[in-house]
Each structure stands twice: as C-alpha cells, then as structure tokens.
Structure 1
Amino acid sequence: MDVLFDGGVEVHYGFLYLQPSEADAEIDLIDARAGQANGLCGAAHPGVLAMITGLHTGRVPVRVELLAEPPAPVPAEDWEDVVEVSVDLADADYALTSFDALHPLDLPAGPHRARWLARGMDAARETDVSDGSEDIDRYLLQLWPAPPGAEAVIRRGSEIAAYWDQVAAETVPQPRSAAAGSPLA
C-alpha cells in the first residue's frame, strides 16, 4: 500500500474532487453522481471522482491510499459510510482538489476501483463551519487497479449519505459528447 496523501483539505460547500491537475472543465456536483445509487462519490464524469463531505466549510482530514489489490472488508466500528465506484484514470497528473486546494497525487492511468469511506458526517453537517480546533469528520479514499464494475453502497450510516443517495438516484444523467466527456476537455 502506498499512502499518497494524509492530511487536511480545506473544503467549501462540502465537496472535493479527484481529477487531473490541468482539468479546466467545470464539473457539476449534482451531475457528477446522476443516476447512481450512491451520492457520496460521484463517478459519472470520465476520469473524475466528486466526493461529498459532511463539513460545509473548514479543514477535513483525508487519507488517499493506492493499493495493489482490493482492500479487506471494512470494520463497522471504523467507518459509518462506505461506497465503491469504478473510475478510469486518464494518463495525466492527478490531484485532490477543492476550491483553493490542490494536492498532487501520483496515480497510474487505467481502470481502478475507488472506495470512499466516511465517519462523522452528520455531526460535521450540524457544525457546518469548523474553526479547525478539532476533526469532526474524516475520510479515506482507497484506489486499486480493477476492471469496471457496478457501484456499491457497502454501508450507509448517516443521514447526509441517505440525502445524497436520493439526490443521485433522482438526477437524470445528461448525455455527453466525446469531447465533453473527457476529463481534460
């Protein structure tokens, strides 16, 4: 296992992305999860993941791991919300991004499975804006090489996850042209 990032990410409006560093296409947060069963980790845009956080504004701890094989099952006491999606990573420099933050990640191109794990989302949503004195919610993004597969909601334990799952299910996917579907468009 390689730890690609382990630190705080400043979020605004409760989301962050895994995307090519040079991407200039604006990703719509709602469309990024359109038609999915899970709303926490949107994978509707090729080569991009759009992840939801409980905290609206402030620093959230995030760890990103690159694995050689699928991870072990998730202990229930460790993570309240767990989802998995497939993503085909472009041959590009990737980063974990939010409004003003860009954290470079060394990711290999090709098809991967992504597992987004969350803890404390409801408490963070109630807090809304953090002063940074304590971590309310925390996140783990695990990636490993894998052929495309169906998304999975492994565990839904928070109200905010249930809300975003409903948003995703009710949003109709928009057709994309080949150029618009590219993460580097």
Structure 2
Amino acid sequence: MTDPRTVSFELGVHYGQAYLIDETDDAMGPEGIPADHPVHPVGIIRVDGGDAFLITGLHTGAVGFSVTVAGHDPGADTHGYEDIVEISLKSEAGQLALYEWGGGDVHELPTLPAGPGWYRLRYHAQNMDEAAEVDTSDEVIDRYLLQIWPQDESTPRVIKSTSGHLAYWREPR
C-alpha cells in the first residue's frame, strides 16, 4: 500500500447515520446508536466491537466524505474542519468498509496496513450545524474526513469542538 491512501465519494445518509464495518464473516454493524464513552465522550463517532457508528449533520441526502488509511498518524486537519474527535477500534479482519443506512451503497476502503488489530479513528466534520438546519439535501453541505492508522487502544478525545451539533451529541442521554 502506498502510504497514505485516500478515497473520496458522496455518501448517502438517512437519519444522519453511516457505519464503518469490520469485514468479518459475521459483520452486521451496530444495532441502534451505541453508547458514547462514559468518561471521555466524543459524540459523533461511537464504537461497538469492531464497528463504528458515524453521525452527520444532514438528516437525509448526500454528504462529502473522504477516508484516509495510513501506516502512521497522518496529522489532524485543524484548519480545514470545525470538529475533530478520535476513538480506538479493533479490527478482526484488517479490512473495513463504509456502509450507508438501510442497505444503501457500500464504499470499499483501502486495506488496513497492519492487518487485524487496534486502529485509531480520527473523524473530522465541517458544516454540521448548517446541514442540520437544512435537514434534507441532495447537494453537499457538510463534509467529513475519517483518518485510520494503526495505534494501540487509547482514550477517546476531542481535538477540536466548535459546532453546536457536536456539543449536542456529547451530552449525556
């Protein structure tokens, strides 16, 4: 794999949801919204086993989405995005795919560079508040960058938080 590799596409969302699924034989994805970390909530990305639940600002329509898979930390894009959070995920298969809600398209992602094991997910978001106000749009309003690289399990953290949407999802429910 050339390091890093980025794929970009329009992601169809419904209910402001998408799913990062570990491509094991029994990959089913999260059922419902997984609980946030009880001590270090990051709000817009939740991990359940080897899968992750991703939240977008737009309820229904198309969002801009890029995924970068790297062999090392590619560095956060603090100037290009309003919100940035991180969380760990353990992949059993060494291969992840991004699934749209309700059986929509499946977006294949580059193979994870270290095979099965622990990875860090850094989820960047831009224009979540604007997209949430619009609710439904076929034109891209909000955009996201998900970075994935090998790293031992570590505490979830918020790197940058400016939107009301991220603040809302970080509140205890």
33-42 or 50-59, which deviates more: 33-42
1:69 aligned residue (55, 67, 72): 72
CA contact (8 A) 1:80 1:120 kept: yes
86-95 or 11-20, which deviates more: 86-95
Q: Gaps spanning 5+ residues in structure 2: where?
A: none
Report whether the alignment pairs 1:126 with 2:139.
no
CA contact (8 A) 1:58 1:129 kept: yes
Shift of 1:157: 0.8
Counterpart for residue 139 of structure 1:
144
Counterpart for residue 19 of structure 2:
17
Considering fraction of residues, name the structure with more helix.
Answer: 1
> 1:82-161, aligned counterparts within 5 Å?
82-91=84-93, 93-99=95-101, 100-105=104-109, 106-107=111-112, 108-132=115-139, 135-161=140-166
Question: What code does the residue aligned with 1:78 have?
Answer: G
Aligned residues: 163
Any idea what SS the aligned residue of 1:33 has?
coil
Question: What code does the residue aligned with 2:68 have?
Answer: E
CA contact (8 A) 2:63 2:143 kept: yes
TM-score, with structure 2 as normaliser: 0.86
Counterpart for residue 80 of structure 2:
78
Q: Gaps spanning 5+ residues in structure 1: where?
A: 172-185
Question: What code does the residue aligned with 1:91 have?
Answer: A
Considering fraction of residues, name the structure with more strand.
Answer: 2
Q: Identity over the aligned pairs, expressed in percent?
A: 34
- Please give the alpha-carbon distance, in whole angstroms, between the structure 1 residues aligned to 2:66 and 2:29: 25
- Please give the alpha-carbon distance, in whole angstroms, between the structure 1 residues aligned to 2:17 and 2:54: 6
How has the CA–CA distance of structure 1 residues 26 and 67 changed in structure 2, closer, same or farther, with 3 Å as cutoff?
A: closer
How has the CA–CA distance of structure 1 residues 3 and 155 changed in structure 2, closer, same or farther, with 3 Å as cutoff?
A: same
